[in-house]
Structure 1
Amino acid sequence: MLRTGAVQVQCTSCATVKEPPARSRGALKLYNVGAPSERIAIDVAGPFPESESGNKYFMGVMNYFTKWPEVFAIPNQETSTVADKLVHEVFYGFGAPLEIHSDQGRNFESQIFLLLYNKVMGAHKTRTTSYHPQSDGMVERFNQTLERYLAKVVEKQQGNWDRHI
C-alpha cells in the first residue's frame, strides 16, 4: 500500500498479506469503592527459595479504597493455607469485605474458597480475565515492587527473606 498525499493506491497482494484492522475492545468497567474493606484484591507470588521458617510463597492482599497492602509469608499455595491466612489475618483484623478480587489460580477458584466467600463471609467473588494479569494490576504491581525489594535486601542470605516482609 502506498500513500502519496491524499491519494491511496491499493495493492491486492499487499491487502491479502496485511493483518485485519484491530477489533474494538469492550468497555472498561470502573470499580467505585466507597469505604475501606469494601473490595480487596488477593494474589500469591512465588516460589522463592525456602526460608528458615519453611516459607516459599507470599500472599499479598490490598484494599482497593485505602491501597493498604498486607503481606504474609506462607509455606505453600494450597487452598487451605491461603484460606486460613486470609481468615485469621485479614478478615479477623479488618473485617470481611463485600467483594474479593483475584486471579484464576486453582487456590482461589476451589470449592473451599467459593464456600468461604459466598456462604460464610457473604462476599462476592470477582476474578481477572484469563492470561490477562493487568486486570489485577494493583496487587500485581505491589508484588513486583516487593519482589524487587527482596532481591536487593536478601542478596547474600536468602534463607531469611520472609523476615523482611
Structure 2
Amino acid sequence: MKQSIIQHIQSCLPCQQHNISRTKKPGRLNPIPTTEEPFQLIGIDYCGPFKPTSHCNQYVLCVTDYFTRWITATALPDCSAQTTAPALFNNYIYQYGVPLAILSDQGTHFKNQLMESIAKLIGYNH
C-alpha cells in the first residue's frame, strides 16, 4: 500500500510541481586549514548540561588547539555569551595568546555582538 502511494505521487505531474522540499539542503563543507604553529587555530564548543556541581557549574567550555590537539576545559554555570567571553579570555587567551582564528558551531553563545566586538578588538577571525 505504501509503495503504491509513493509510486502514484512520483508519477503525478501536479504532485511533483507543487511538492515543495521541506528539508534544508546540506551546507557546503570546507576543509579545515592546517596551521604551522601551536595556538594559531582553535576550536571551541560547549558540553552539557551536566548535573550541577557544588559551585553551580553545569557546562564545560572546551577549547582545542588544532596543531597540538591540546584541550582546555573550563567548568561554567551557563553557556551564555556573557559567560563565554571572560572564560575564553581568562582561561585561554591570557595563557596562550590570541589565536589567528577560532572555529565553532556558530551557536548563539559564540556568534553574537559581544563575541564579534571582542574579535575586532583583539584581532582574530571567527
Q: Could you tell me the TM-score, scaled by structure 2's length? A: 0.76
1:122 counterpart letter in structure 2: G
Q: Matched residues in 2 for 1:116 and 1:34: separation?
A: 24
Q: Displacement of 1:49 after TM fit?
A: 1.0
Q: Matched residues in 1 for 2:122 and 2:105: separation?
A: 19
Q: Matched residues in 1 for 2:87 and 2:29: separation?
A: 35
* 1:122 counterpart residue number: 123
* 2:52 counterpart residue number: 50
* 1:138 counterpart residue number: none
Matched, 1:81 2:83: yes
Post-superposition Cα deviations, 1:97-149, rounded to whole Å, max 9, x if no partner, equal 000000121110110001111x2220011xxxxxxxxxxxxxxxxxxxxxxxx
* 2:41 counterpart residue number: 39
RMSD between aligned residues: 2.1
- Percent identity, aligned pairs only? 31
Q: What secondary structure does 2:114 align onto?
A: helix
Q: Matched residues in 2 for 1:63 and 1:84: separation?
A: 18
Q: Displacement of 1:26 after TM fit?
A: 5.4
Residues 75 and 33 (structure 1), Cα distance of their counterparts in 2 relative to 1, 3 Å cut: same
Equivalent residue runs for 1:54-133 within 5 Å:
54-117=56-119, 119-125=120-126
2:98 counterpart letter in structure 1: A
Q: Which runs of 5+ in 2 are unaligned?
A: 1-6, 12-26
Q: Matched residues in 2 for 1:26 and 1:48: separation?
A: 32
Q: Displacement of 1:27 after TM fit?
A: 7.0
Residues 55 and 27 (structure 1), Cα distance of their counterparts in 2 relative to 1, 3 Å cut: closer
1:84 counterpart letter in structure 2: P
Aligned residues: 105
* 2:18 counterpart residue number: none
Between Structure 1 and Structure 2, the one with more helix by share is 1
Runs of 4+ residues over 6 Å off in structure 1? none
